[in-house]
Amino acid sequence: MDYDTEQLRQADLAHVLHGNTNLYDYVRGAGPIVLVKGNGAVVTDSDGKEYIDGLAGLWNVNIGHGRTEIADAVAQQVNAVGYVPTMLNLANVPSINLAAKLAQITPEGINRFYFACGGAEANETAFKSVRYFHSVQGRKDRVKIISRHMAYHGVAVNTMAATGLPQFWQNFGPPAPYIVHIPAPYCYRCAYGKTYGQCELDCATALEGAIQAEGEDSVAAFIGEPVQGAGGVIVPPKEYWPIVRDICSRYGVLLIADEVITGFGRTGTYFGVEHWHIKPDLMSMAKGITSAYQPLAAVGFADKVFDGMAQPGAAYMHNYTYSGHPVVCAAALKNIEILERENLVQRSAEMGRYLNERLAELRDYPFVGETRGLGLIAAIEFVADKKTKAKFQPQQKFGAQLTKLTRERGLLSRAGDEYLALSPPLVIGKEQIDSAVDTIKAALTSIQV
Ligand SMILES: Cc1ncc(COP(=O)(O)O)c(C=O)c1O
């Protein structure tokens, strides 16, 4: 099919309000790349140019593009019954089957699932649920959430406050109260000026300090992504999560694992927490749950949390119209079937090792401070000066140049002044990884700063 790219661009510029975008500059620019087709790890634009989808959409098209099986599952459910609520004592078959499947694949003890439409809705659900858990058991003051710098948990009012990236707060008024942050386990730029191997994991023990400073009877939960994604693919050391788990347990603070990116094979295990052998109390999931073919999220509840919430005389007054939407859940079931049938979690571990090995070659390149990753999520951190680790100044437009140069060469990624992230579909092949790495090498060689 032929597309009139210029007409599409002009209509976009005139009518679509794009998020995470400088609106003033955007409407004065050339307009977006319009993607019209996808197959595996490759997407095609309206002029027929192909790109490796190095970020799998937004870290979410885990099984890759162009899966007609999902289309069939969706059509089948639309034809059966297109919508059934999951309140009013009503239920639908796909959401029941999906919840039962999630109980099998999530860590032991997580057996109940609440469905939502996206990661922010899932985390808002988690925040309200931990408050509810404490409140119905008489601990009404336990309302605070402890999060981390450089965390990303979504952009709704509470999740925006939990997100530890200040650019997301600007011009949106005062952040929601009762949310505090501790440093990230970011060894490359340790908040304590220490070196991993010669430290006491201050970033983890900071949680205990924060609980004590806030007053332990006021803290409801700690939230963290097993590997911080949008903050720059920050992979914590092996000791980190067990220490955090222990502190949460000792203080009666619930542990929410935000597995929105790390779930469904992204890091080479089904869920990110498996690398650290810890069990969260609540678990937020989205993105890879449907590989983005439909908008779905879920919050998993450990039995002790659900039992605490299920108190006589109290109703959990929290429902989204589209919680457990049958069509969306049908897509998720088919997606998980494909992940398992094609061993994509294992493939993510194998291809992830290869990707991270190849990215390590970049450490000798100009402007590369560090490369890091786990499974098929990885980042290259950039520095203007390798010795001082100084960052680029905005006027140098490092990230914008890198984006342009890599896109010209057929690679989509998330490139900024501080890092470039890769998180490709789990079906990506070695040659495609080679091509992506070669593209980044070529771009870094020709960049002007
Ligand atoms: C770890 C994490 N949590 C939550 C979210 C928010 O998800 P959504 O954009 O679907 O609201 C994201 C989105 O990228 C995420 O990466």
For residues 99-106, average pLDDT: 98
Asked, for residue 245, whether it belongs to a domain, the answer is: yes
Whether residue 259 has its Cβ less than 6 Å from ligand 1: no
Ligand 1 centre and the CA of 120: distance in Å? 6
Residue 26's pLDDT is what? Answer: 97
Do 422 and 330 lie in a common domain?
no
Ligand 1 centre and the CA of 7: distance in Å? 32
Whether residue 229 has its Cβ less than 6 Å from ligand 1: yes
Asked, for residue 171, whether it belongs to a domain, the answer is: yes
Instruction: Report the atom number in ligand 1 closest to the C-alpha of 259.
Output: 1
Whether residue 154 has its Cβ less than 6 Å from ligand 1: yes
State how far the alpha carbon of 78 is from the alpha carbons of 97, 133, 326, in Å. 17, 36, 8
Angstrom distance (rounded) from CA 342 to CA 346: 9
Ligand 1 centre and the CA of 242: distance in Å? 24
Whether residue 152 has its Cβ less than 6 Å from ligand 1: yes
If one counts the domains in the chain, the total is: 2
For residues 12-21, average pLDDT: 98
- How many C-beta neighbours within 10 Å does residue 93 have? 15
Q: What six digits make up the tokens of 147?
A: 């999060």
Asked, for residue 20, whether it belongs to a domain, the answer is: no
Do 156 and 292 lie in a common domain?
yes
Q: How confident is the model at residue 36 (pLDDT cuts 50, 70, 90)?
A: very high
Instruction: Report the atom number in ligand 1 closest to the C-alpha of 297.
Output: 10
Asked, for residue 441, whether it belongs to a domain, the answer is: yes
Whether residue 124 has its Cβ less than 6 Å from ligand 1: no
Q: Which domain covers residue 369, as residue numbers?
A: 33-63+343-446
Do 46 and 153 lie in a common domain?
no
Do 315 and 226 lie in a common domain?
yes
Asked, for residue 24, whether it belongs to a domain, the answer is: no
**pLDDT tens per residue across span 143-160:** 999 999 999 999 999 999
**pLDDT tens per residue across span 297-356:** 999 999 999 999 999 999 999 999 999 999 999 999 999 999 999 999 999 999 999 999
- pTM for the full predicted model: 0.98
- 302 contact partners, CB below 8 Å, separation of at least 6: 109, 110, 111, 279, 280, 281, 282
Residue 177's pLDDT is what? Answer: 97
Asked, for residue 13, whether it belongs to a domain, the answer is: no
Asked, for residue 26, whether it belongs to a domain, the answer is: no
Q: Which among 314, 341, 368 is the end of a domain?
A: 341
For residues 259-282, average pLDDT: 98
Do 287 and 433 lie in a common domain?
no
CATH of the domain at 429: 3.90.1150.10
Ligand 1 centre and the CA of 173: distance in Å? 21
Do 302 and 173 lie in a common domain?
yes
Ligand 1 pocket: which of 59, 260, 273 to mutate (most atoms within 8 A of CB): 260
Do 59 and 74 lie in a common domain?
no
Q: How confident is the model at residue 357 (pLDDT cuts 50, 70, 90)?
A: very high
Residue 19's pLDDT is what? Answer: 97
The one-letter code for the residue type at 336 is I
Do 310 and 377 lie in a common domain?
no
Do 196 and 57 lie in a common domain?
no
What percent of the chain is predicted at pLDDT more than 90? 99
Task: Answer yes or no: is pLDDT of 88 > 90.
Answer: yes
CATH of the domain at 202: 3.40.640.10
**pLDDT tens per residue across span 184-237:** 999 999 999 999 999 999 999 999 999 999 999 999 999 999 999 999 999 999
Do 421 and 332 lie in a common domain?
no
State how far the alpha carbon of 55 is from the alpha carbons of 93, 133, 148, 272, in Å. 32, 36, 23, 18
Task: Answer yes or no: is pLDDT of 1 > 90.
Answer: no
Task: Answer yes or no: is pLDDT of 105 > 90.
Answer: yes
Q: Counting runs of H as helices and runs of E as strands, what totals does the chain give?
A: 14, 15
Instruction: Report the atom number in ligand 1 closest to the C-alpha of 121.
Output: 11
Do 80 and 214 lie in a common domain?
yes
Report the b/e string of 189-203 with b at 16+ CB within 10 A. bbeeeeeeeebebbb
Ligand 1 centre and the CA of 206: distance in Å? 24
Asked, for residue 190, whether it belongs to a domain, the answer is: yes
Which phi and psi (to 5°) does residue 372 adopt? -155, 160
Do 254 and 107 lie in a common domain?
yes
